């Protein structure tokens, strides 16, 4: 038997836990006293062991994280930044790559209640590299405020990350080329609900030709995430009489999330 000092043992366990953490296992089951099972996080600076002495402290890897840890949010931030860099250098759509000023990656809170999915960046978004900062974005901000939400509580992204020229709709090939970025982003952001703004978002995410007016009012599923569809803010600017319907959709969404509307 090899003699090992307590401090070397500590170092070895720490290294092993760090390897587990890097490979995605961030919580361990602590079967410490056999009467209760708790999960403990693997963190950098200390071990999830109650005591190093004796053999009672059996630590078993748990397959699924119970609570999202700070580490998983940090890791997601890092992975989203890597994805954003990948999008910034993407030239899969030659016309878009030539005409864009900036790629427009999603922005907002990771693991939010709501992720709004739009169509494609417009002129202002292309200039600033940020989604929904033009005229329709201002209207969206007002809708959020009426719901008691701020921009940094939600996430925004688009079906495609580059502005199509001449205000045209994204082409099917462009949507396909960008699909991987959209799906990876949604998987990392993991919102409770996706709110599709307008027909381009709904058609492409839900793979349907059903128009928005028929999709409204109920939840659909996209890879385990609930999806609600409403009109695009640009459509509301052109058809202000539809604002009432969007407000109904938002009230439905807010109450579905168990949130309260602000008192007027
Ligand atoms: N319209 C969209 O669909 N997305 C934006 O980011 C801006 C305008």
Nearest atom in ligand 1 to the alpha carbon of residue 136 is 8
Residue 204, classified by CB atoms within 10 Å of its CB into exposed (0-12), middle (13-18) or buried (19+), is buried
106 lines ligand 1 (CB under 6 A): no
134 lines ligand 1 (CB under 6 A): yes
CA 202 – ligand 1 centroid, Å = 14
Nearest atom in ligand 1 to the alpha carbon of residue 201 is 3
pLDDT value at position 154? 98
Nearest atom in ligand 1 to the alpha carbon of residue 159 is 3
pLDDT value at position 25? 59
Span 73-256: which CATH code?
3.40.470.10
pLDDT value at position 3? 62
Nearest atom in ligand 1 to the alpha carbon of residue 198 is 3
The 10s digit of each residue's pLDDT in 25-76 is 556 655 444 444 455 555 444 443 333 333 343 343 444 444 555 569 999 9
| Mean predicted confidence (pLDDT) in 192-205 | 98
CB within 8 Å of 85: residues ≥ 6 apart: none
| Mean predicted confidence (pLDDT) in 172-183 | 98
SS3 at position 104: coil
The 10s digit of each residue's pLDDT in 109-142 is 999 999 999 999 999 999 999 999 999 999 999 9
CA 197 – ligand 1 centroid, Å = 9
Can you tell me the distance from the alpha carbon of 76 to that of 57, in angstroms, rounded to the nearest whole number? 31
Residue 234 has pLDDT above 50, yes or no: yes
129 lines ligand 1 (CB under 6 A): no
In the chain, where the domains are located: 2-60, 73-256
Above pLDDT 70, what percent of the chain? 75
Can you tell me the distance from the alpha carbon of 130 to that of 258, in angstroms, rounded to the nearest whole number? 29
pLDDT range class, residue 249, cuts 50, 70, 90: very high
- Start-to-end CA distance of the chain, whole Å, equals 73
pTM score: 0.75
254: part of which helix (H) or strand (E)? helix 243-256
CA 129 – ligand 1 centroid, Å = 11
Mutate to test the pocket of ligand 1, among 100, 103, 117, 119 (most ligand atoms within 8 A of CB): 119
């Amino acid at each position: 038997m090899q003699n090992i000092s307590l401090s070397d043992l500590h170092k070895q366990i720490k290294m092993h836990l760090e390897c587990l953490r890097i490979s995605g296992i961030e919580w361990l089951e602590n079967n410490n006293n056999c009467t209760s099972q708790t999960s403990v996080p693997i963190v950098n600076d200390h071990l999830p062991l109650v005591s190093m002495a004796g053999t009672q402290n059996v630590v078993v890897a748990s397959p699924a994280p119970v609570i999202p840890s700070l580490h998983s949010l940090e890791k997601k931030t890092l992975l989203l930044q890597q994805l954003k860099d990948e999008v910034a250098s993407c030239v899969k759509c030659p016309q878009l790559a030539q005409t864009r000023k900036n790629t427009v990656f999603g922005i907002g809170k990771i693991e939010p209640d709501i992720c709004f999915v739009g169509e494609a960046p417009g002129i202002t978004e292309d200039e600033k590299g940020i989604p929904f900062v033009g005229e329709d974005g201002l209207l969206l901000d007002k809708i959020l405020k009426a719901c008691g939400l701020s921009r940094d509580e939600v996430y925004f992204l688009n079906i495609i990350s580059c502005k199509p020229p001449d205000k045209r709709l994204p082409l099917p090939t462009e949507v396909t080329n960008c699909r991987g970025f959209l799906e990876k982003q949604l998987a990392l952001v993991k919102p409770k609900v996706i709110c599709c703004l307008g027909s381009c978002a709904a058609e492409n995410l839900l793979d349907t030709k059903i128009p928005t007016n028929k999709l409204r009012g109920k939840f659909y599923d996209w890879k385990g995430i609930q999806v609600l569809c409403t009109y695009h803010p640009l459509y509301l600017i052109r058809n202000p009489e539809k604002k009432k319907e969007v407000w109904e959709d938002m009230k439905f969404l807010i109450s579905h999330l168990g949130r309260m509307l602000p008192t007027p």
